[in-house]
Amino acid sequence: MRPFGTRHSGPGARRRVGLPGAVLALVAINLLVEACLAGADAGWWGSPAWRTLAYHNGAFWGGLLDNWRPNYPLQPATMFATYAFLHAGLGHLAGNMLVLLILGGIVARRAGQGGFVVIYLASAVLGGAAFAVLSDSPQPMVGASGALFGLAGAWKAWELDELRAAGLSRWPVWRDIAALAALNVIFWYLLGGVLAWQTHLGGFLGGALVSTIIGPRHIRPCPGD
């Protein structure tokens, strides 16, 4: 099977360059949501209350799994996905979308667009689950980083498996994972503890787990590759 974005029509065929549509679609959805809220914040349309309403109804609230009263019956379930499409502002969104463009392309080309979407959404859900179990914060949690760490987890899990199968050292991958953990510690300190590391951990492990079910496609290179 071939990865999305690769087309072989014969010897010497050139590889098509471009990001998978599923990645671009997720970026567009996130941009649209934040654009609506940022425009409302600025008074260009709607009401400045839109962001508050979005957080109240779509953010991840740990208390809803305890004794808090939800705004609507399905909120304790839907928040496991909706939180990943809300952000704390344009800076938060920009950083996450840059990472999505990079990691999304890597994972989608290895697992296909359907596999990419499954890994992304499953990682978001499992990231939320880890936050629910490991955090007692009463504050809302938003952002796509749990899903993004899941993409990283899937990528690194595949690399570990490939190195093991080839009989090569897996140290480079463990080094990358240690660097991700160190970055979490650094940002947690710089942000004064306002970092949902629990979501990052759950997303990473969730992506790695799902990647064992959705394995990477095996690519046959073009002649001359």
Indicate which residues carry an active-site annotation: 145, 200
Residues forming beta bridges with residue 141, ordered by sequence position: 60
Cα distances (angstroms) measured from residue 214 to each of 116, 127, 159: 9, 18, 14
Closest CA to 122 of 134, 109, 107, 136: 107
Token couple for 167: 């009989």
Cβ neighbors of 22 (< 8 A, separation 6 or more) are 104, 108, 113, 114, 116, 117
Packing angle, helices 90-134 and 21-41, rounded to 10? 100
